[in-house]
Amino acid sequence: MNIFANEDYVLKTLSELPKGKNTSFLKASHSLWKRFKNYEKNPPFTLLIDEIPVAFIFATTSERTKYINLYEIVTVQGQEGKGYGRKIWSDFVLYWSERGMQRIKLSCTPDSIGFHAKNGLVFWSVDKQGSLRSDQPLMSSVKKQIELRNKAKTNPSLVRPEQKVCEKLKKEDLELLSLSEKKLMATFEAINKVQEFWLRRYLFENVH
């Protein structure tokens, strides 16, 4: 079951969780959402199992651009390793594709790149934190997302953003970032991991 959680719901969930990395992620996401006053217009998409929240997605949507901007996927502390991240992602893309959203963008940390690659994403650039930038059409399922990505190997125009977005992505050059050696190595490893789905070269080519 999925719900959209309000601020009080997230705070109550946090108050009942043990300390840990995922609890810290959820606290940070909550703080970001509160600071930017996103709870009213973009409440977190929440997965419930037996009426217990087990995962959250913090994302904004735009009726004007038909874009989803995904900020964070958080599995609740103590619920890791049960497939809830994959489940909430599948529910999330189905929900929003049925409501007319057309593209999705997000930054994927090197630690999360395996998860996102399995969900059919492609990657174009690296943001200031060393995360891989993803932007592509939103499909209604992981299967369809992967099918689209496979077609994009020979026809990258199927997933390529519009030109003004490409121009912004071109400026995010890994060589220009001030990252620590450790972060830089992690970013290079992430790029190597996604291999053929690192589509940066197509930002500079005329594809049709």
26 burial (CB, 10 Å; 0-12 / 13-18 / 19+) is: buried
- Compute the average pLDDT of residues 54-81: 98
pLDDT at 36 > cutoff 50: yes
Domains, the chain, ordered by start: 2-203 (3.40.630.30)
Say what the pLDDT of residue 174 is: 85
pLDDT in tens, 16-25: 999 999 999 9
Residue pLDDT, tens place only, 61-71? 999 999 999 99
The two structure tokens encoding residue 194: 């996604």
**Looking at the predicted structure, is the pLDDT value of residue 111 above 60?**
yes
Report the pLDDT value the prediction gives residue 162, as an integer from 0 to 100: 96
pLDDT the model gives residue 190: 97
Tokens read off for 184: 């830089």
> Rounded to whole angstroms, how far apart are CA atoms 56 and 4?
9
Residue 79 has pLDDT above 70, yes or no: yes
What's the mean per-residue pLDDT of the chain? 96
Answer whether residue 206 shows pLDDT above 70: no
**Residue 207 clears pLDDT 60, i.e. is over it:** no
Answer whether residue 81 shows pLDDT above 70.
yes
Lowest mean pLDDT among 103-107, 149-153, 172-176: 172-176
Alpha helices in 36-131 (DSSP H): 84-97, 113-118
In the chain, what percentage of residues exceed pLDDT 70?
99
165 pLDDT tier (thresholds 50, 70, 90): very high
Are 115 and 74 in contact, with CB atoms under 8 Å apart?
Answer: no
| Statement: residue 75 has pLDDT above 60 | yes
Which tokens go with 86? Answer: 């994959």
pLDDT at 208 over 50: no
